[in-house]
Amino acid sequence: MAFLDNLLNYPMIGIQLDVTAVWRQAVTSLLSKGEFK
């Protein structure tokens, strides 16, 4: 999960919450399809 941490900690403080929300939606979508390992 190291690369997840890197994305969530990316230095975009002003939009970090928005990025996190979008990323969670993407991860949830992948998990629901069984494509995220």
What is the separation of C-alpha 11 from the centre of its chain, rounded to a whole number of angstroms?
A: 14
Q: Name the pTM for this structure.
A: 0.42
pLDDT in tens, the chain (37 residues): 577 676 666 665 556 667 788 888 988 988 888 765 5
Domains in the chain: boundaries: 2-31
**Three-class HEC string of the chain:** CHHHHHHHCCCCHHHHHHHHHHHHHHHHHHHHHCCCC
> Looking at residue 13, what is its pLDDT?
55
